């Protein structure tokens, strides 16, 4: 049986579990070469394109199965108006 989904609404953003529509933008932002990586902790390994593909497929399976870890390891930051992915928190 799938777990309950998490959705925490604020005035401008919502923290929520990932949905399938998040995967394409997430894959884009996880690719090497983005400026945000310059400010990320050096203790996180820099994934290559193959790593990103594996991460996206694991997330796809988790979304389809509806099984998210409890407690959550990460949540999507989404726009309240559009529900579009803005980022994620861990």
Give pLDDT, residue 2.
Answer: 52
Q: What is the mean pLDDT of the chain?
A: 89
Of 82 and 46, the one with more pLDDT: 82
pLDDT in tens, 36-63: 877 777 777 777 888 999 999 999 999 9
Token pair of 56 as six digits: 């996206």
Query: Taking 60 as the threshold, does the pLDDT of residue 1 lie above it?
Result: no
57 burial (CB, 10 Å; 0-12 / 13-18 / 19+) is exposed
Rounded Cα distance between 62 and 66, Å, is: 6
The sign of the CA dihedral 53, 57, 58, 60 is positive
Instruction: For 79, list phi and psi in degrees, rounded to 5.
Output: -70, 130
């Amino acid at each position: 049986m799938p777990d309950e989904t998490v959705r925490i609404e604020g005035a401008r953003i919502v923290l929520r579990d990932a949905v399938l529509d998040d995967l394409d933008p997430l894959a884009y932002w996880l690719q090497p070469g983005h400026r945000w990586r310059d400010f990320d902790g050096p203790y996180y390994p820099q994934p290559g394109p193959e790593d990103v593909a594996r991460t996206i497929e694991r997330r796809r399976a988790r979304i389809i199965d509806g099984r998210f870890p409890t407690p959550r390891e990460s949540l999507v930051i989404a726009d309240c108006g559009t529900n579009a992915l803005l980022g994620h928190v861990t």
